[in-house]
A and B are shown apart, each in its own frame.
Chain A
Amino acid sequence: MQIPQLEIIILGKGVIALSENVVKAKRKNSKINKNYYGYLFTAPFIIVFLLFSFYPLIYTFYLSFTNMTMMSKTYKLVGFENFAKLFQDKFFVQSLINTWKIWLLNFIPQIGIAMLLAVWLTSSRLKIKFVGYWRTIFYLPNILMPATIAVLFFNFFSFYGPVNQVGVRLGIFKDAIDFFRNSGWTVSIVAFIQWWMWFGSTLIIIMAGMTSISQSFYESAMVDGANSWDMFRKITLPLLKPVLVYILVTSLVGGMQMFDIPYMLTDGRGSPNGSIMTMNILMYMKFSSNKGHIGAAASVGVMIFIITCLSALLIIKLLSDKTDRKTNIKGKRG
């Protein structure tokens, strides 16, 4: 049995896809009733979603109210006991803080640098050559297996590893640093890896958003004597907002579920000192503890789900423009 992943992003996409189809069908072909085609064509997605995402989601909620373990065959409903324990557990609070910390540390530089690179690469003034080539290079780390990357970085930064060897010989640091026994370093390394893996993907989405902005806006702005910064602030950013909301929400969902890199990098328990113990690692730790507390693990999963949903809704609410009704509606459903 596996703990189901809580992929609300699939839910979000699905509802948007469905609603769009229905709306379009209604508007365009109101005379000939083809409404049910929408349902029919989305049926494959809906069925898979119900079976492999929605059912596990509901089941996780159910499990979180039981005391099921892997080492015994019987279990019973225990109400909110798992949650009560969770809130007394300082590890949960710590994992919550860790997850947000690592996500913010990687997301802020990620969006900043991706934005900067996107402006450069799409700029009609700079006319940078080989745009496709750069885009590919930046995207490449995303293709690698996270497990491979974690092992790679672990070896880079190990006490007898190349970073220490090169760093000390070049005089960058005086003595070898024990990176993975130091919380600050370990958190930074995880944040760096996350940034390095994902800024290329963010870059591509932002570039797609930027190229879809009509050039005529920029041309007329130039005629009015606007400089690059003005154009970025007054044209690019506002028109990019839907794309930014999308990036923010998907990154948040991914960030809240961060697991593979921090798990593989050290001992799988968020060492040193639980500094990279994310909520998903805590969930896995409960699941793989010596009795295998499925109920307790599910309660962590439910909390991740609730936290992610609330933050995503908050982001959408804060970023959506009141005049931009369409985005608003879409967003609320996502």
Chain B
Amino acid sequence: MKKIISFVLSILLIVGLFSGCGKSETSNNNTNTNTNQTQNEQKVLKVWSFTDEVKTMTVAFQGKNPNVKIEYTMIPMTNGEYQTKLKSALQAGEGPDVVTLEASFVREFIESDYLEDLSDLLPVAKDLKTYQFTIDMGTYEGVTKAFSYQATPGAYFYRRSLAKKYFGTDDPEKIQELVSDMKKFEQAAKVIKEKSKGNTYMVASVGDFTNLFFANREKPWVVDDNLVIDPKVDELFEIAKSFRQNGYEAQANQWQEGWFAGMNDSLVDAKGNPKQIFSYILPTWGLPYVLMPNSAPKEVKVEGSDKTKTVGKNTAGDWACIKGPMPYQWGGTWIAAVKGTKNLDLAKEFIKFATLDEENLKNWALGVYTNEYLKKIDPTIGDKLAQGAGDFVSSQKVVEEIASQFDNAETSKFLSGQNSYKSFAEAAPNISLKLIQGTDDAIQRALNDPLSNYASGKATKEQAMKQFKDAVKNALPDLNVQ
């Protein structure tokens, strides 16, 4: 008897182990049959992205198509988690239907076999006069695989009050004169430092202007599988060193607390002295997504009580936007369909809506997608999701139609009446992306440490270059690095 009982018990133990697997299988089957039955009623589209941005559009899309349910997954890309997750999911064949791709890694995916051909949407893009560089970016060997809703020409934002204080004028044209190339930019930084006695920095971090140099290289990083170090990289090293050694930059890290603190004047150094940042080098999206949300006072909790106090001040209206020392473009989001998706038609429809739909692009740029608007469609989205006005869209047709509407928009008030949209519209057609390659992200990340070492004087140029080459070799073993 005992034997039987213990035998049964142990069998139970083993069976118990697998009950987990068994249950999920059966429930999967159930949902499958359910979806088959209700397919006419509701279609499901899986979208993966690295910010909440595109979620706004998925909600709007569901508003237009009530029979569609979009499952939105956000995975951050701070250290490349999104790309890694996406790659491994795609390799395992468990990817979503639609993916968004950021400028720094979009080429990797465009050059792979993982995305569907979306070339049949090209006529729509032609009608909308979509900026050619956004299409080029999504095209490989004649096949267009991704479209973007944004165009992202670069700009330069500075504080009007500080400009008046140190240069006697806040006139955008005159300031543009003062920073029209890197030599003058450095000179202006020196003036600011001297006149402010070191309390105002030209920029918050060295990272702010790396993009300028990358965008103005002659040759791409990789030519015939060889690493090419453009003379601009040398220039970048020198100017970074000058800025670090002379104290023209605040030693903050981009996208971290100190860097943001400069935007609402809440930057305080370790000794408790308030510090100010004269300018930020940001592209189109930097205005509505970065600068505007961070230039208001912030509420923080007072230690040991429930009270809050405000830190910083409202700097809206104290900013101006100019071209800056060098033309550049930075960032941008492309949307693509995953190869082999069962919902290809729906995926295309969504991509068309998000990137090539006149009405949607207008709504997107003009700030129609407020939280209330989106909540009416989907009450579960919470109180934060919304799209403010001012993002620069990829369709020249739309841009031309709406540019003048920004004369009185929030973004223009923020810039004290300056319509940045119009100046972006002038810059956008001239952008070229011929330099961009799939390996850029890895190479530019590899440059971070060597650049910082050289700037702070911890390494000579040779040491820094060697470190850079070693890091590239490690990240990209197939590349020839001399």
Which residues of A approach B to under 8 Å, CB–CB? Answer: 1-2, 37, 40-41, 43-44, 47-48, 70-73, 85, 89-91, 155, 158-161, 164-165, 167-169, 175-176, 178, 181, 263, 267-269, 271-274, 285, 287-293, 296
Question: Are B445 and A181 in contact, with the CB atoms below 8 A?
Answer: no
- Known contacts A2-B88, A290-B438, A290-B439: A158-B258 contact under CB 8 Å: yes
Apart from A89-B473, A161-B257, what 15 extra A-B contacts exist at CB < 8 Å?
A1-B91, A40-B7, A43-B13, A43-B14, A44-B14, A71-B112, A72-B113, A158-B257, A159-B253, A169-B270, A178-B251, A178-B456, A268-B79, A269-B445, A291-B476
Binds A, one of B141-149, B186-194, B261-269, B344-352: B261-269
Question: Are B272 and A169 in contact, with the CB atoms below 8 A?
Answer: yes
Decide if B87 is an interface residue (CB 8 Å cutoff).
yes
Contacts of B445 in A (CB 8 A): 267, 269
- Known contacts A2-B88, A90-B470, A269-B445: A160-B267 contact under CB 8 Å: yes
In the complex, chain B residues 257-292 whose Cβ is within 8 Å of any chain A Cβ: 257-258, 261, 267-272
Question: Are B452 and A181 in contact, with the CB atoms below 8 A?
Answer: yes
Q: What are 14 A-B interface contacts by the 8 Å CB criterion?
A: A43-B13, A43-B14, A44-B16, A48-B17, A70-B87, A155-B257, A159-B253, A267-B79, A271-B448, A273-B467, A289-B442, A290-B105, A292-B88, A296-B477
Contacts of A159 in B (CB 8 A): 251-253, 258
User: Whole-angstrom distance from the CB of A273 to the nearest CB of chain B?
Assistant: 5
User: Whole-angstrom distance from the CB of B173 to the nearest CB of chain A?
Assistant: 34
Question: Are B84 and A287 in contact, with the CB atoms below 8 A?
Answer: yes
Question: Are A290 and B442 in contact, with the CB atoms below 8 A?
Answer: yes
Contacts of A155 in B (CB 8 A): 257
Question: Are A289 and B476 in contact, with the CB atoms below 8 A?
Answer: yes
Contacts of A271 in B (CB 8 A): 448-449
- Known contacts A289-B476, A293-B477: A71-B448 contact under CB 8 Å: no
Question: Are B270 and A168 in contact, with the CB atoms below 8 A?
Answer: yes
Question: Are A273 and B449 in contact, with the CB atoms below 8 A?
Answer: yes
- Known contacts A1-B92, A290-B438: A41-B108 contact under CB 8 Å: no
In the complex, chain B residues 46-71 whose Cβ is within 8 Å of any chain A Cβ: none
Q: How far is the CA of A176 from the CA of B268 in the complex (A)?
A: 11
Contacts of B271 in A (CB 8 A): 168-169
Decide if B83 is an interface residue (CB 8 Å cutoff).
yes
User: Whole-angstrom distance from the CB of B308 to the nearest CB of chain A?
Assistant: 18
Closest 8 CB pairs of A and B: A268-B79, A160-B258, A176-B270, A168-B270, A288-B84, A40-B10, A164-B270, A70-B87
- Known contacts A40-B10, A44-B13, A175-B270: A291-B478 contact under CB 8 Å: yes
Q: How far is the CA of A91 from the CA of B475 in the complex (A)?
A: 10
Contacts of B84 in A (CB 8 A): 287-288, 292
Question: Are B475 and A290 in contact, with the CB atoms below 8 A?
Answer: yes
Residue-wise, chain B 459-482 has the 8 Å CB interface mask toward A (1 for contact) of 000000001001101111110000
Question: Are B14 and A47 in contact, with the CB atoms below 8 A?
Answer: yes
* Cβ-defined partner of A71 (8 Å) among B87, B92, B252: B87
Q: How far is the CA of A101 from the CA of B478 in the complex (A)?
A: 30
Contacts of A37 in B (CB 8 A): 6, 10
Question: Are B258 and A85 in contact, with the CB atoms below 8 A?
Answer: no
Question: Are A288 and B83 in contact, with the CB atoms below 8 A?
Answer: yes
Question: Are B17 and A47 in contact, with the CB atoms below 8 A?
Answer: yes
Question: Are B256 and A158 in contact, with the CB atoms below 8 A?
Answer: yes
Question: Are B257 and A268 in contact, with the CB atoms below 8 A?
Answer: no
* Cβ-defined partner of A267 (8 Å) among B90, B268, B438, B448: B448
Question: Are A71 and B83 in contact, with the CB atoms below 8 A?
Answer: no
Contacts of A70 in B (CB 8 A): 87-88, 90-91
Interface centre among A1, A71, A89, A292 (most CB of B within 10 A): A71
Q: How far is the CA of A159 from the CA of B439 in the complex (A)?
A: 31
Contacts of A296 in B (CB 8 A): 477
Decide if B441 is an interface residue (CB 8 Å cutoff).
yes
